[in-house]
Structure formats: C-alpha cells, structure tokens
Amino acid sequence: MDASILDYELPPERIARFPAQKRDESRLLLYERKSGRVEHLHFRDLPNLLSQQFDFFINDASVLKARIFANKESGGMVECLALSPSTGDETLWTCMLRPAKRLKIGSTFYKEGFFKARIMEKFDDGTASVKFELAPGISNMVELTESIGVVPLPPYIGRDQRATDYDRDFDNARYGTVYADPQKRVAAAAPTAGLHFTNQLINGLKDIGHEFYKLTLHVGIGTFKPMTSQTVEEHRMHCEVYEIPPETLKAAIKRERPNLAVGTTSLRALEDFYRKHHSELPKYALASAPYIDSASLFVYPPQKLLSADAMITNFHLPRSTLMCLVSAFISPGAETGIKTLKELYKIAIDKSYNFYSYGDAMLIL
C-alpha cells in the first residue's frame, strides 16, 4: 500500500496552537461505524452520547518537561530533548540535540547552577547518548527538568519556548491530562486524546455507571513522526514500554462492559497485550501483579483490532502511523478505513474543527 494514500491537505488555520479555554469545551465528531452516522457535538456531551456503559482505558503517563535550553562551553545555545535514561545509569540519557551537526562527541554544554553534560556517543537516528553531572541539591533528571525544562511541544504548535514572555506554566499544565500520575514522568509527548477530560466529566461518567481503568505507556517521540517509507508495510515502528495493572487487565479481558480506548497510546498497549496472549487471556484475568512489556506493534489496514470496541482520538498528522491505527479500527479487516477516515477529516475541515495535539476529538463507536 503506497504511503501517499495517507496524505491530505490541511489549511494552516486548522492547526490548533492553543487548546480550548476549558478542556471539555473541545468539539467532538461522533462517527458510528455500523450506520455511518456522523454528529457534531462537544466533548462535554460525552455522557449523553453513550447508550450503554463502557470501561474507559486511559494512559496515566505524565509528560516529562524534557526540553532544556543550555549553553555550549565554546559559546552559543544548545537545545536538549531528554528522551529516556540508560538502564543502570540514571545520569546517562538518550537525547536529541540542536544544533546536532555542530555538537561532536566529547562536546559539553551546561546551565550554570543546574548541570553540566557531555556527549558520549551519537547515533544514526539523530539521537545521542549524553552524560549529565547534576549540581548539588538536584537529585535526579526528573527534578532537573521540573526545575528548568519545558514540555516538548510539537513544532507545528509554533510556540517560541525560549522567548522571555513564553508562558511555561500554561503549557506545562495543559499539555497533560488531569489524571496523569506525577510519579510517572515517562512520556516524551502527551497522550492527547485524554486532554479533553475534566475531573468533573470523569466523575459524571462514573456516576452513571462507566468505569475508568489506568495503564501506562511510555509515549516516545517517534509516535508523531511521519512515515518515510514508500509503502505502509515497509515502515518500522519505534518501541515503547508499557505497564498494565492487574485490575486493568481483569477489566480488559472480562469485558463485562465494552472496552473504550482513550487515545492511540492506550489502544496500542491493550492491543499489543491482546495479540501476544490472546490464547491465554483467562490466565491473565487472575493476575496479581502488573503486566510489563514493550510494544513495537504497527497496526494498519486491513488488520483487525482485538482489544477495543470504541475509541476516542484526535485528528492526526498526514502519513502517520496514528492514521493507520485509526483507519484499521474504523473498518476492521478492510482497507476502506483509510478512505473513510479521510472523508471524516474532510468533513471536520469543512466544519472548522481544530487538528493535532491541542485540537478537537473524535468518538468512534
């Protein structure tokens, strides 16, 4: 399948640079797979849209304030995006650096009073291994990033995070879900479908019989990278660690209510587990410990998804693996899901929905 089938035209004004004033004031496009019905609502209408009770599966990963601005020893600025720590050494991190070509192995950069870092190795994928020496009083990298870092907003949001008038607190609060666990700062990007929930909305859904179950997927920066291969099938997915608590496993397996995945990150974790253990699911319904694994699962049409009956998702970038997953969910076992998804995107554009991370949402039933 040629990857160009996932291209579409998006007017620049439809890219959301800021979220809705209130989270659940985002718009919501409802698509019903069996009937083809489309409705235009707001996210706060969610309790009235669901004719039956669902189990909601949410990703409680917090976004690491991973973008750090620093100085080169030789002068000039460095932008460091801390992605993940190395096993066994919490001061050795895989990072993305700018200006990448000018920063050689052995180069150092620093922020006075906070850290000094040295580039230990550079890799073909554009990342580098960086050793951090933290200043006295700073115990770990999460503490460092909480002090001086900013959330790694995607470039299409168009925010100058170095500017003196940049509102760090605004994006640090809004580029994350209300249910994110501050002890799990493991995401390089926000699980954006969950950005629309308020605590009031969640409590209202619980009051009418819906249940919420948490899992944690370590969202990697590769989540939003467009495919560069000529065909969809040639693309190779990045790998992400995930953890599913025993109570979430039990609910996902028993399906006493239909499963509703909030976002592609929740769905990837559930689907990876389901595909690996589909023949032995009853055993895991009795588990007393979290299930921990890593997923490099690439879902695209005409695959079928086993783990979810409904999903909430945002409007995604052209030629992205996220479009592939949503297309497969829309039309299980058929390639027509891509065509349908692009038709829905066209409707959304014509109706002035906002796209991408800070944009509006879709509910697919």
Give which of 39, 62, 60, 61 is closest to 50, Cα–Cα. 39
Cα separation, 219 vs 187, whole angstroms: 5
Give which of 63, 78, 90 is closest to 150, Cα–Cα. 63
Is 242's pLDDT higher than 70?
yes
Residue 214, CA distances (Å) to 233, 235, 288, 351 in order: 31, 29, 15, 33
3-state SS assignment for residue 181: coil
- Identify the pLDDT of residue 90: 85
Here the tokens at position 20 are: 């809705």
Average pLDDT in the 8-12 region? Answer: 97
Average pLDDT in the 222-250 region? Answer: 89
The single residue listed with the structure tokens 């605590």 is: 199
- Identify the pLDDT of residue 224: 63
Average pLDDT in the 46-66 region? Answer: 96
Give which of 343, 276, 267 is closest to 299, Cα–Cα. 267
Average pLDDT in the 5-9 region? Answer: 96
Cα separation, 353 vs 183, whole angstroms: 34
How crowded is residue 71: how many other Cβ atoms within 10 Å of its Cβ? 14
Residue 236 pLDDT grade (very low, low, confident, very high; cuts 50, 70, 90): confident
Here the tokens at position 189 are: 């990007």
Encode pLDDT of 251-274 as tens digits.
Answer: 999 999 999 999 999 999 999 999
Using DSSP bridges, classify how beta strands 211-217 and 55-59 pair: parallel, antiparallel or unpaired: parallel
What one-character DSSP code corresponds to residue 317?
P
Domains of the chain with bracketed CATH: 3-63+177-364 (3.40.1780.10), 67-149 (2.40.10.240)
**101, 84 Cβ separation under 8 angstroms:** no
Encode pLDDT of 288-304 as tens digits.
Answer: 999 999 999 999 999 99
Is 214's pLDDT higher than 70?
yes
Cα separation, 47 vs 304, whole angstroms: 27
- % of the chain at pLDDT higher than 90: 91
**342, 8 Cβ separation under 8 angstroms:** yes
Residue 35, CA distances (Å) to 31, 200, 206, 294, 327 in order: 9, 31, 27, 36, 16
- Which one-letter amino acid corresponds to residue 266? S
3-state SS assignment for residue 324: helix
**337, 311 Cβ separation under 8 angstroms:** no
Which pTM value belongs to this model? 0.95
- % of the chain at pLDDT higher than 70: 99
Counting beta carbons within 10 angstroms of the beta carbon of residue 252, is it exposed (0 to 12), middle (13 to 18) or buried (19 or more)? buried
- Identify the pLDDT of residue 226: 78
Is 14's pLDDT higher than 80?
yes
**54, 175 Cβ separation under 8 angstroms:** no
